[in-house]
Amino acid sequence: MNTFGQLFRVTTFGESHGPAIGCVIDGCPPGIAIAPEEFAHDLSRRATGKTRHTSARHEADEIEILSGVYESVTTGTPIALLIRNTDQRSKDYANIAQQFRPGHADYTYWQKYGIRDPRGGGRSSARETTMRVAAAVIAKKWLAERGVHVRGHLAQIGEVIPAGHDWSVVEDNPFFWPHAAQVPELEAYMDALRKSGDSVGAKVVVEADGVPPGWGEPIYGKLDGELAAAMMSINAVKGVEIGDGFASVAQKGSEHRDAMSPNGFASNHAGGILGGISSGQIVRVAVAFKPTSSLRLPVDSVDVDGNAIEVVTTGRHDPCVGIRATPICEAMLALVLIDQALRHRAQCGDVGPVHPRI
Amino acid sequence: MNTFGQLFRVTTFGESHGPAIGCVIDGCPPGIAIAPEEFAHDLSRRATGKTRHTSARHEADEIEILSGVYESVTTGTPIALLIRNTDQRSKDYANIAQQFRPGHADYTYWQKYGIRDPRGGGRSSARETTMRVAAAVIAKKWLAERGVHVRGHLAQIGEVIPAGHDWSVVEDNPFFWPHAAQVPELEAYMDALRKSGDSVGAKVVVEADGVPPGWGEPIYGKLDGELAAAMMSINAVKGVEIGDGFASVAQKGSEHRDAMSPNGFASNHAGGILGGISSGQIVRVAVAFKPTSSLRLPVDSVDVDGNAIEVVTTGRHDPCVGIRATPICEAMLALVLIDQALRHRAQCGDVGPVHPRI
Amino acid sequence: MNTFGQLFRVTTFGESHGPAIGCVIDGCPPGIAIAPEEFAHDLSRRATGKTRHTSARHEADEIEILSGVYESVTTGTPIALLIRNTDQRSKDYANIAQQFRPGHADYTYWQKYGIRDPRGGGRSSARETTMRVAAAVIAKKWLAERGVHVRGHLAQIGEVIPAGHDWSVVEDNPFFWPHAAQVPELEAYMDALRKSGDSVGAKVVVEADGVPPGWGEPIYGKLDGELAAAMMSINAVKGVEIGDGFASVAQKGSEHRDAMSPNGFASNHAGGILGGISSGQIVRVAVAFKPTSSLRLPVDSVDVDGNAIEVVTTGRHDPCVGIRATPICEAMLALVLIDQALRHRAQCGDVGPVHPRI
Amino acid sequence: MNTFGQLFRVTTFGESHGPAIGCVIDGCPPGIAIAPEEFAHDLSRRATGKTRHTSARHEADEIEILSGVYESVTTGTPIALLIRNTDQRSKDYANIAQQFRPGHADYTYWQKYGIRDPRGGGRSSARETTMRVAAAVIAKKWLAERGVHVRGHLAQIGEVIPAGHDWSVVEDNPFFWPHAAQVPELEAYMDALRKSGDSVGAKVVVEADGVPPGWGEPIYGKLDGELAAAMMSINAVKGVEIGDGFASVAQKGSEHRDAMSPNGFASNHAGGILGGISSGQIVRVAVAFKPTSSLRLPVDSVDVDGNAIEVVTTGRHDPCVGIRATPICEAMLALVLIDQALRHRAQCGDVGPVHPRI
């Protein structure tokens, strides 16, 4: 199950410290103009090694297009993308091979497969998400041609929440933070955290504008159901909300339901989805990231022989994995949307314009 | 996409006020003893019409087994289950056919398909979940034979949260509430709510005990990813959490990670899942239900001709849909688990006992 | 795996002598007008009990539409169809429960599942194909609206091959035979065969006219690949050919390849498919049916205790199962085509008219 | 649809004359020992350029394992295999870009996608089958550990059929021919054919020994159904037979059915499959290959502007594509078997030893 999507299918492969990571995109519509250099922007947004607030690992992340694109246009055949790993310090992980790191997938991979590639977390590393971002570059382009735009920001780090909301500043700070005045505070917060050897969680919000009503397949292929699966499949995610999410629990029905008029919806508590189908409003998803478990601070654990040990993780890790997660969440939102768009066209391509559209 | 699961596949069909609802269970292991009367218990737990706190609709919910079971044992061929609808008052919904109810799927089905069955919400009605509960009866039985048990309780109604936690009382009150002393308070709360014509949200927690380490398929078939999709596919769900969920956002890594020892894990912030694979701990999921939008209180909307109207919903509806959702969430947990168990056996059936198991 | 199709998905259920057979059609486009009486024609074409040349079992085959159709129009939600079994003489099969019939699935079901429903072959009976024909009625209607028409005829019974080819007589004789003058000969042939207690094989040819170029998904979802699977999934089928089929083995390339001109193709050795994609020519498939193994003539076998026995089958069986197979092969052709059409629309709906179309 | 298999899933990518071809194998059981040099044998068997009877194109076909194997053992994570293309003479195909070659996929790809990579047939080239053979090396190894062995031979070239059958000589001649004495005759036949500029069809037979009873999923995942799809997905295949295949049409039931005794089956007309499930006998499949259409002999066609033209193909092509197809058919047989084996284990892993096994 390393394939995501029903019709626009992305199959990823590769280990954190293996020779390469890559993906195959199958079912991509033909005729999309795409050049190798178009991947750089989003890959750079999720890359490590750019600021002191993320892991020091530096990967060139140079994409090679192996198939499916002819003269810079997609042909409808499978698109294979490849990135060679260049900065693997596997010796950083030498003793990890004999130890299970609490909060990591080491123990569960061991139990499931009876074998694991311990180098840098192997397959369970967040390095895999590079290829989701790459695949989504193509998806975003197709969506943009139809007026659908995806974007995201960080909505919480630890206890800190944005004191204001300005989309225009999100891309100008290393935290994807929507309030510029707080950035120095966050810098200081992260510096202190890094020094303490600890890590912290974060919340990401992503949204899609321009989604027409009708995308989403009830009952088990609901748009929100697939978004939940998509986000929860990202490393370190522990929660997903659509629209008001858990706040809905304490709401009254008269408060939650979004009134309608010929001019549109009066509010968007639903997050743009009703009955699993997009309503034409902005689709909004919030995602909770746990703090990374790779810390310099020691913790009790066991080794592969079952002995009690103390684990200290000294590799290069993000003190807040949520920071770089914004483009990853955007990617998953884009991948879900293009897949649902194609599925909707398949089944309902005969349905003409439906009135009234509010 | 009315099929759930990869190997243990449940396909449901039927509209709320059509002649029948039903499901086909494909890929069920042969040799499971199952009799028609074994479905009654869980169906009764999710049924309406039993207390004044749920919808007054009364459905007999008598299951007919049409195939796949011979002499009360599953044969490995598809199991078809059928329930005839008996209490459809479609006239309650006569004017609904021309109106869109805010907060409902009316408008989005209309936009997607260009046609809809308006009777009782048609396919988008929660009546569909009856068949999930029915299918899960078989799943629960197979799981129980392997020591895996699923259970759930309500964890919040509106602003009210449990003041204590006692599993033994959950099945003894109409709210699946884990603290008996609060039940009168909840009765009064719901009575007042019903009189006001409004509704309220709720939170359900379900958990599975006895899940062995190793279930779950990274990367896009992670156990938590599929649980998120499963829960989000239930009507009115707006959020899903695994383990500490959104609370993880404000946690430090040293606090969140669950220390390990030869005697097991020291805590369970992870909710029993690491890297998408079960760890052997209790699998715990929390689910947020929005308040139902079918209210006697009027709300602005539009009709199918695009005119501004005011909608009042007078049919029989639950003032808190989350109350009856506990067995539905249990069902989805069970369906995810049996499917992952079969998938794990397929790929990793060669893997012998893996040491150490803590 | 009782589901056929990727987007237009048909899930069948039911045993030959259980209470009912049925299917769920998921992913059906909305807006197709369909009434219960429209199923009768094709169901009658495949039904037993109409002439002395097929099994004497008489089933009413009355279709009940349980869901997915509102006011005689498909709504896009799953369509459930149900047929109650009425003429089950399970006592005919009493001793079969302890015996394995050579050439039947008795032994293999027993080995696979460790249990089987022996009544009338249970799930392995050709009665299951009734629902394929029913589902295809809807598929044929959608296809016909797009100018695609499916038809078939018998092309061989035993050693007898048609001495001429006239589509207009195919539906006027019980053998779907394309040459009227041979019908008396076939009647006599079948009468003699029935008296002898033996059975014989047959070949069916089906074709689709009006298929536009472009349907079919390379590499593993090729149109011919899926047709092969579809036909081979029919009971008693042992071979499938596209176009010239096995005759291609002895052909030269200069003979086989179909020359092209602005006016079209000069021949159709390919059977309307090139590279797994329809070419715009007639799609033609030939299917080989083995002789049924249920004979009055005794044969060596074993019983469930492993003892050597002699089996005589006395139930009601077709002396040539291929005769009634024509509408079944048509059904599978229609189901493959609608599914591929929807998949093509999903991926390539952006592709405008492609020139030149010859 | 560039993915084959349900649980052992092989996704291939790459064009004939693009930078590389490759595949991702997902769902592979962990713990299989595999080294890069183990791929060489089967890749060499299907390679071009070894004798004068196949295409002169010479590809090194050096496999690079990019992921999923750690210290020469499969880990259960996706295995990516890559082969760089080295001998692309795209100029050979310069004028092909403007022409449609009769009997090729040029026209249908053009109609489907509105764009095509014309270099060497692009995605529709048989070069893609290299990766099927590579993936099947792993499948064959897993199967062999369970006593299942796959092998094949050529059973007809043009009008020539084997005059004898000796498995031991099949690998000793360039035709996979089972009768050594005929090899000189075939050499002369092929030499004459090559000189004439024409091509010819062929028939391949593959079989699997040691398949236990019980593999195969009725109804739409039958073992024979999936074999038919698998074989038909190979380039140039026009027909598939299981067991007696089309010969069954002229057989009597008393002749076709395989009698059973405590000592086993008396014959194998069924080809080892009954009701879509393996019977424990040898599984036998015959496959018809059409003659290649790439000939020096001119043929009428059209160009991309719709003009009538005459096409002459001057690239390097096989005069009989069926010759090298034996290892490809073996590969598809192995891929179907491992996938069905895993699916059987998933559903029926609880079923203990089933008696009697004959």
Write the pLDDT tens digit of every residue in C234-243.
Answer: 999 999 999 9
Residue B291 amino acid letter? P
Please count the residue pairs, one from chain A and one from chain B, whose beta carbons lie less than 8 angstroms apart.
396
Indicate the DSSP class of residue C221.
Answer: B
Separation CA B137–CA B40 (nearest Å)? 9
B172-175 contacts: CB < 8 A, separation 24 or more?
B174/B50, B174/B51, B174/B53, B174/B54, B174/B323, B175/B53, B175/B323
Q: What is the pLDDT of residue B89?
A: 64
Determine, for residues D229 and C228 on separate chains, whether the beta-carbon distance falls below 8 Å: yes
Separation CA D156–CA C248 (nearest Å)? 11
- The DSSP string of A59-92 is -----EE-SSEETTEE-SSPEEEEEE-----GGG
- What SS3 class is residue C17? coil
Separation CA B278–CA B223 (nearest Å)? 7
Residue C145 amino acid letter? E
- Shortest CA distance from A304: residue in chain B: B356
Indicate the DSSP class of residue C217.
Answer: B
What is the arithmetic mean of pLDDT over D94-123?
A: 90
Q: Which residue has the tokens 């995605």?
A: D123
Residue A92 has pLDDT above 70, yes or no: no
Q: How much of chain D exceeds pLDDT 90, in percent?
A: 87
From the list A77, A218, A349, the residue facing C349 with the nearest CB is A349
Q: What is the pLDDT of residue B272?
A: 98
Q: Are strands B264-265 and A73-74 parallel, antiparallel or unpaired?
A: unpaired
Q: Which residue has the tokens 């002598």?
A: C17
- C-chain CB neighbours of B342 within 8 Å are none
- The answer to whether residues A103 and A235 touch, using CB atoms and an 8 Å cutoff, is no
- C-chain CB neighbours of B26 within 8 Å are 1-3, 11
- The answer to whether residues C176 and C326 touch, using CB atoms and an 8 Å cutoff, is yes
Determine, for residues C68 and B20 on separate chains, whether the beta-carbon distance falls below 8 Å: no
The encoded tokens of residue D345 equal: 């284990």
From the list C233, C243, C291, the residue facing D220 with the nearest CB is C233
What is the arithmetic mean of pLDDT over A76-92?
A: 85
Q: What is the pLDDT of residue A12?
A: 98
Q: Give all strands (DSSP E) within B116-173, no chain letters.
A: 149-157
Digit-coded pLDDT (tens) for B159-179: 999 999 999 999 999 999 999
Q: What is the pLDDT of residue C163?
A: 98
Alpha-carbon distance A120 to nearest alpha carbon in chain D (angstroms): 13
Q: What is the pLDDT of residue A119?
A: 83
Q: What is the pLDDT of residue C57?
A: 76
Give residue ranges of A with CB < 8 Å to any D CB: 1-3, 9, 11-15, 18-22, 24, 26-27, 30-31, 64, 66-68, 70, 73, 75-80, 82, 112-117, 122-123
Determine, for residues B80 and C30 on separate chains, whether the beta-carbon distance falls below 8 Å: no
Region of poorest pLDDT, from A324-328, C177-181, D115-119? D115-119
Separation CA B167–CA B176 (nearest Å)? 9
Residue A96 has pLDDT above 80, yes or no: no
Residue A94 has pLDDT above 70, yes or no: no
No. of helices (H) and no. of strands (E), chain A? 7, 17
Determine, for residues D67 and A31 on separate chains, whether the beta-carbon distance falls below 8 Å: no
Separation CA B238–CA A258 (nearest Å)? 14
- Shortest CA distance from A145: residue in chain C: C350
- C-chain CB neighbours of A29 within 8 Å are 347-350
Burial class of residue C303, CB neighbours in 10 A (0-12, 13-18, 19+)? middle
Low-confidence ranges of chain B (pLDDT < 70): 88-94
Alpha-carbon distance C272 to nearest alpha carbon in chain A (angstroms): 21
Digit-coded pLDDT (tens) for A245-259: 999 999 999 999 999
Separation CA C140–CA C39 (nearest Å)? 11
* Angle formed at CA B101 by CA B97 and CA B106, multiple of 5 degrees: 60
Q: What is the pLDDT of residue B286?
A: 98
Low-confidence ranges of chain C (pLDDT < 70): 88-94
Residue A343 amino acid letter? R
Separation CA D287–CA D42 (nearest Å)? 19
Q: Are strands C79-84 and C283-289 parallel, antiparallel or unpaired?
A: unpaired
Burial class of residue B266, CB neighbours in 10 A (0-12, 13-18, 19+)? middle
From the list B105, B220, B299, the residue facing A275 with the nearest CB is B105
What is the arithmetic mean of pLDDT over D41-59?
A: 83
Give the mutation candidate from D2, D32, D74 for the A interface (greatest A CB count, under 10 A).
D2
Separation CA B291–CA B310 (nearest Å)? 19
Q: Are strands A264-265 and A69-70 parallel, antiparallel or unpaired?
A: unpaired
Residue D50 has pLDDT above 80, yes or no: no
Which domains, and CATH codes, for chain D?
3-348 (3.60.150.10)
Q: Are strands C308-311 and C260-261 parallel, antiparallel or unpaired?
A: unpaired
Q: Which residue has the tokens 């009189």?
A: B195
Determine, for residues D250 and C159 on separate chains, whether the beta-carbon distance falls below 8 Å: yes
Q: What is the pLDDT of residue D91?
A: 60
Give the mutation candidate from D67, D74, D277, D345 for the B interface (greatest B CB count, under 10 A).
D345
Q: What is the pLDDT of residue D294?
A: 87
The encoded tokens of residue B72 equal: 């009360």
Dihedral class, residue D61 (left if φ above 0, else alpha if ψ from -120 to 50, else beta): left
Digit-coded pLDDT (tens) for B286-342: 999 999 998 999 999 999 999 999 999 877 778 999 999 999 999 999 999 999 999
Query: pTM of the full predicted structure?
Result: 0.97
Give residue ranges of B with CB < 8 Å to any D CB: 7, 27-31, 76-77, 218, 342-343, 345-351
Q: Are strands B3-4 and A308-311 parallel, antiparallel or unpaired?
A: unpaired
CA-to-CA dists, residue B73 to B29, B37, B70, B264, angstroms: 10, 13, 5, 38
For residue D135, give the nearest of D24, D228, D51, D234 by alpha carbon: D24
From the list B2, B76, B116, the residue facing C113 with the nearest CB is B76
- The answer to whether residues D157 and D289 touch, using CB atoms and an 8 Å cutoff, is no
Separation CA C272–CA C150 (nearest Å)? 13
Determine, for residues C117 and B19 on separate chains, whether the beta-carbon distance falls below 8 Å: no
From the list B77, B78, B114, the residue facing C30 with the nearest CB is B114
Q: What is the pLDDT of residue D194?
A: 92
Query: Which strands form A20-26's sheet, in the order they lie side by side?
Result: A3-4, A9-14, A20-26, A79-84, A64-65
Q: Which residue has the tokens 């060139």?
A: A60
- A-chain CB neighbours of D19 within 8 Å are 64, 66-67
Digit-coded pLDDT (tens) for D246-261: 999 999 999 999 999 9
Residue C274 amino acid letter? L
Determine, for residues C262 and D222 on separate chains, whether the beta-carbon distance falls below 8 Å: no
Digit-coded pLDDT (tens) for A268-296: 999 999 999 999 999 999 999 999 998 99
Torsional sign, CA B308, B313, B317, B321:
positive
Torsional sign, CA C326, D277, C4, B69:
positive
CA-to-CA dists, residue B71 to B40, B65, B327, C114, C117, angstroms: 19, 11, 28, 14, 9
From the list A110, A213, A273, the residue facing B354 with the nearest CB is A110
Residue A107 has pLDDT above 70, yes or no: yes
Residue B30 amino acid letter? P
Q: What is the pLDDT of residue A95?
A: 73
Residue D52 has pLDDT above 90, yes or no: no
From the list A220, A259, A306, the residue facing B300 with the nearest CB is A259
Separation CA D92–CA B302 (nearest Å)? 64
